[in-house]
Structure 1
Amino acid sequence: MRKRLLTLLTAGVLATSLFAGCGSNAAGDAAKTDSTEDKVITIGATPSPHAEILELVKENLAAEGYTLEIVEYNDYVIPNTALEDGDLDANFFQHQPYLDDFNAEKGTHIVSVAAVHFEPMGIYAGKTASVDEVSDGAVVAVPNDTTNEARALLLLEANGLIKLKDGAGITATVLDIEENPLNLEIQELEAAQIPNSLQDVDIAVINGNYALSAGVSDPIAVEASDSLAAETYANIVCVKEGNENTDKTKALVDAVLQDNVKEFIEGKYEGAVVPVF
């Protein structure tokens, strides 16, 4: 009897040890999973140039032990709603004025953590080959949304084609044109469609990203790197408010603002995209 009792106790100890061992491994596996997930950064971006730039950022992060997962979007709404909802850790596709308007209209809480690049808006030749050759009554296509129309008008003003009212700045519209010595006919079109309208107008003012996507090159004039537009419309990396100082955010910002990223932008886009850091 005593021998049998000893055998049962021994079996119980072994079972307890095995159970504890299994529990320890499970806890270890969970900790390992949590640790792995902490090293994954999910970022939303539009394809060009943002996702292209992030491919290099991915390499920088990998060297620091992080995995960057890039989710591409073809619109300007879902990357922000996904970030607000926690489906993304960050996004990279917009400038500050757009973000400010989005937060105000949608009630979101998204903030900028890094200014990365500026996509100069350019004047492109349609029927007229240069700014100097623009003649009386010429047709000029500009974007019809508030933000980009103001940029287009400021660029036309910078090249001596029109004069805006004092103080119009980044809120300018065609109603703010004070002087139009060449009687230009300003056509307001949806920004993404302007590259397809070049053959129908004398000149057109096109956003850098749309020019890249459409394969339109060689602008006859561009926004200066020290212009009001360059200061205002830098494309930014964003996170949800409250996450500005997390380890993930710090690692992401550090990986973005590296010399090799700056050199990549300068080399690949040849002025169509300009680093601002």
Structure 2
Amino acid sequence: MDLELTGKSVLVTAASKGLGKASALQFVKEGANVTIASRSIEQLQQAQAEILAATGKQVQIVEMDVRNFQQIQAAVRTAAVDNKLDVLVTNAGGPKGGTFQQMDDADWQAAFELNLLSVIRMIREAIPYMRQAGGGRIVNLTSTSIKQPIDGLILSSIFRAGVQSLTKSLASELASDHILINTVAPGRIATDRIFELDQLKADKQQTTLDAIQAAALQHIPLGRMGEPEEFAKIVVFYGSFANSYVTGQSVLVDGGMVKAL
């Protein structure tokens, strides 16, 4: 299938590692002109080198903290080619873990800025460049908590759900501009973030990481964690121009883990 991405300008945020980097790599493989953004210039340079080694193609890098509005503006401008941006993939690290009673106002504000306000700002900045391009694709990376809250991750569950509500709302508002917007939510994908959360859970329960992961796999019909590349392929399809009629939707890449309809 031709995903119609050759020569398209793509911005992927939080892309120096994990799911962001995997998604950027897949866009490069499809012939897109990709810009990756992250807080760490050193990690960006490492990701740039790894993508070059894997594809023979160079990606553009830009230092950007998703909580910094000026840096968001600069990243979008940098990614736009001839003032045109075709694809935006919004992504950010997860917020602090814990229960409702453990969170204070500062925790809620920090999570709002990291996981919801950042997405609002990135999309708002990208829209004029997509209109200039005659249309575009937006893919928001969230979590399976948009369908089923995750115990101990209340901040993520609340604000990721907000992103999905934003996606639904914007699907109608942006349709006349030929901009399609969707959400792709990872389940248990083998990334540093998952291992970090599993280790925290193991420490809390005074057990081993292996025990926590074995228990988690019992809830996944496919019986294993997903690989970043598997997730990235779904992101790239929804962010492609082969996707011409799906907007406002959420797809879970979770091996069947979430049972919600």
TM-score normalised by structure 2 residue count? 0.32
| Structure with a larger share of its residues in strand | 1
Larger relative CO (CA 8 A, sep 6+): 1 or 2? Answer: 1
